[in-house]
Amino acid sequence: MNKNNTIYTDELIKYDEGMYKGKINWGSNINRYLKVLYENKKYCFCIKDYIKRENKVILELDRRILKPISTGHLLECKIGGIIGVKSGDFKYVIGQTFKDDKRDIIIIDREYRYRKKKK
């Protein structure tokens, strides 16, 4: 987790007993608010639903329902993808030119490169 990214879980309902004591009870937190500080900007999410078999929550931000995110990623504050801060878009457009005293580059095509899974 980035040191600037913080999730505030103090107001969420947690289990009081059993093997999950102290852990967040996501099913009981529907329609409750979750405050997050992400890259020095404050966000307030409303927890709309909990998908127990997938261990994911559906959040609402500014009256917009976001795609489901795993509770682990949410607790680690990995929310850049769902709020639109980080995306899979290309950084450069076709035809863009980079020119300096040693190179003259024009972007002519785009390429996807996939990482190989480690076994």
> pLDDT tens for residues 44-65?
999 999 999 999 999 999 999 9
**At 116, which amino acid appears?**
K
- Report domain extents, the chain: 6-83
Q: What is the pLDDT of residue 89?
A: 74
Give pTM, 2 decimals: 0.71
Q: Which of 69-73, 105-109, 111-115 has the highest mean pLDDT?
A: 69-73
Q: What is the pLDDT of residue 74?
A: 93
Three-class SS of residue 49?
A: strand
Q: How many CB atoms are closer than 10 A to CB 2?
A: 11
- Supply 25's token pair: 């009870």
Cα–Cα dist 30/25, whole Å: 10
Q: What is the pLDDT of residue 18?
A: 93
